[in-house]
Structure 1
């Protein structure tokens, strides 16, 4: 069955009054993609757990599962012991969107620009609109939408000019799981050095675009600034992507671009006291997933910021940016780092 016909059937199969529990409708193709993505994790979800995650009724999920199994020929079965759905064989094909690469990059970047609105009604409304646009886009390149969500993200606002050709080539290499070779100029290096890596993810972090890739020579994940990459070449050698990799988790332990190899990082419970304008600005934003903020004065002019981090490199710079309005309460290692930087500045 053609993709367009499948999408039409999916819409008919789930266009009943079954509204989501949150009062916001979910397009059929969006639900099907989400169900497929969740089942691929191997968690064996059932209709109740899927309905809770996707915010629709279990009856809607059951119709979607039936559609996926009967119309899309997906190998979905219910596990009688684990009480949830799973794929009886690996799934390499799935309903796809047809977009030119130019359309793809433009549409995806526009969609990801909604990240600051995540969780709001406006974000859900606009996301639904983007899904409908994507379904109607003809073009010359086929791409699975869920692959884009795995490959790209936006962590913070702000755009740094990037080479569009480089961006597109990295997109192709991530989708094709092909190794890439490039020259990379480290901040501390005097000359570029050649690197061969396995690209996993491109994200906008702290106002710049970065590639997260596995470096076989170093047996670790590494982060590369796109503006310092040159002479990129997609190699013929393919690699097997680690299914356990998650970009959010990879970056979650750090305070920005820095990430830490699993098992190599220590946990640091950071506590900083802010006053005046700094207290108000810090309290207005989500700086880290683990953060908690306690108001010490009712007017918000004195707060304590706490977070659990895997490293102290970037939090040190952040503290210094607030000058005398920030005071480190702990840990002792962070106090020492800040004191050394301030002493060096005085000298």
Structure 2
């Protein structure tokens, strides 16, 4: 719910900036009944993490955009959707087209640069956590796979018992 409320604040602030109203953190705090410090953090997040080209205008006592074409990122994903995107990206390593792989990698790196501190790891972390070797060798039951992926993204410790496929040895 908190992320939804934050997005609502970003959208409100963005709308005011686009309309030429020059909002500031005090107006944001007043409108959403949050602390002035929280409002300042929201403005900083927009600037630093969402890439908003916000410039403070002392004459107008509020913010405007340096680039009037800026728009908020349109994609906000749930944790499971982000896991699926990361896995799809990792599995795309099998794509033979190098240019396409480079484009996909840039896209993902840009996407992950927008994530907040409490979201799952970036793509480089995913490369370390998910191996795509022998993907088709053994079919893993869906609930097991899902539990392992969730644990990896949440950086939880897993205990795995390996059994050989032909001799059933542990």
Larger RCO, structures 1/2 (Cα 8 Å, 6+ apart): 2
Structure having the higher helix fraction is 2
Structure having the higher strand fraction is 1
The answer to whether TM tops 0.5 is no
TM range (shorter): 0.3 to 0.5
> So what's the TM-score if we normalise by structure 1?
0.23
